[in-house]
């Protein structure tokens, strides 16, 4: 079973080479697709260097939202299944091997385990979001879909600036698909390195959550408010909530580009 790995990038010269070094030895057959949103740094040059010796590495450039970039890569992908991975994430050496095992069991959607690394004070629990018994707030990275399922769902909604992964999971569960969790498919994720990036992420997350409600209606009953506040009882936690709420309100005022 050929698995296509799609890595969305934009100015990832600091991360992409190390990631490629980890992906190349993964269990074959795989196809590594770099879905670039228009990098201005050395990302393209680094990828092309590895393409010379590895024909299974491909670079596609599609400017626009992350959803537009990934949808373009999905169209180009030749794999039966497609795994999504962030450029700054680091998969375990047996990552694809364990995903392939889960797929061979007949699963259509496989979510792996994400382990957060980096500065502990920037490591905050995500606010989980359940729909029909499934945690659809799992990170888009380390999630694998069979390509036929992605086609049936029309891929990612390109209007989302973030939370496009939650929207896809929501639609998949609504369509009757199940999300299978494979704890042995491990990806190491790294917390933001500074306060500014941390708060930018919080703002984007809040904006994306409002985009979800604009598209799908009232979703707050699916959230655990107790979890939301109990996991943010620190100064940085409260700042995260504030900037998340700010993003939510800005999206509500502007409409977020979403119409049902």
Closest CA to 30 of 77, 76, 70, 62: 77
Rounded CA-CA distance 87/99 in Å is 18
For 64-120, what is each residue's pLDDT tens digit?
899 999 999 999 999 999 999 999 999 999 999 999 999 999 999 999 999 887 555
Query: pLDDT exceeding 70 applies to what percent of the chain?
Result: 87
Domain 3-191 fold is Spore Coat Polysaccharide Biosynthesis Protein SpsA; Chain A (3.90.550)
Residue 196: φ, ψ to 5°: -60, -50
Asked whether the predicted pLDDT for residue 225 surpasses 60, the reply is no
For 115-141, what is each residue's pLDDT tens digit?
887 555 444 555 677 888 899 988 888
In a 13 Å sphere around the CA of 48, the CA atoms on its Cβ side amount to 7
> Cβ(57)–Cβ(32) under 8 Å?
yes
Q: Tokens 């600036």 identify what position?
A: 161
Mean pLDDT of 233-250: 78
Mean pLDDT of 12-37: 97
For 4-22, what is each residue's pLDDT tens digit?
999 999 999 999 999 999 9
Rounded CA-CA distance 248/52 in Å is 44
Whole-prediction pTM value?
Answer: 0.87
Instruction: Name the helix (H) or strand (E) containing 81.
Output: strand 81-84
Q: Where are the domains of the chain?
A: 3-191, 194-260
Asked whether the predicted pLDDT for residue 227 surpasses 60, the reply is no
Rounded CA-CA distance 80/145 in Å is 9
């Amino acid at each position: 079973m050929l698995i296509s790995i799609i890595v969305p990038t934009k100015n990832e010269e600091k991360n992409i080479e190390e990631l490629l070094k980890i992906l190349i030895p993964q269990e074959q057959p795989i196809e590594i697709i770099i879905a670039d949103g228009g990098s201005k740094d050395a990302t393209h040059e680094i990828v092309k260097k590895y393409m010379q010796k590895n024909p299974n590495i491909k670079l596609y450039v599609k400017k626009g939202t992350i959803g537009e970039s990934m949808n373009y890569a999905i169209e180009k992908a030749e794999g039966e299944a497609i795994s999504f991975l962030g450029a700054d994430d680091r998969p375990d050496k047996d990552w694809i091997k364990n995903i392939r095992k889960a797929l061979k069991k007949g699963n259509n959607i496989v979510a792996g385990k994400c382990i957060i690394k980096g500065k502990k004070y920037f490591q905050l629990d995500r606010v989980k979001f359940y729909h029909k018994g499934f945690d659809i707030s799992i990170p888009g990275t380390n999630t694998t879909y069979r390509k036929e399922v992605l086609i049936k769902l029309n891929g990612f909604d390109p209007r989302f600036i973030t939370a496009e992964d939650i929207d896809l999971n929501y639609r998949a569960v609504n369509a009757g698909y199940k999300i299978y969790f494979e704890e042995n498919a491990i990806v190491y994720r790294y917390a933001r390195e500074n306060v500014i990036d941390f708060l930018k992420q919080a703002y984007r997350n809040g904006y994306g959550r409002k985009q979800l409600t604009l598209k799908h209606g009232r979703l707050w009953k699916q959230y655990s408010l107790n979890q939301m506040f109990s996991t943010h009882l620190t100064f940085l936690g409260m700042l995260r909530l504030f900037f998340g709420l700010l993003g939510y309100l800005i999206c509500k005022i502007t409409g977020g580009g979403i119409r049902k």
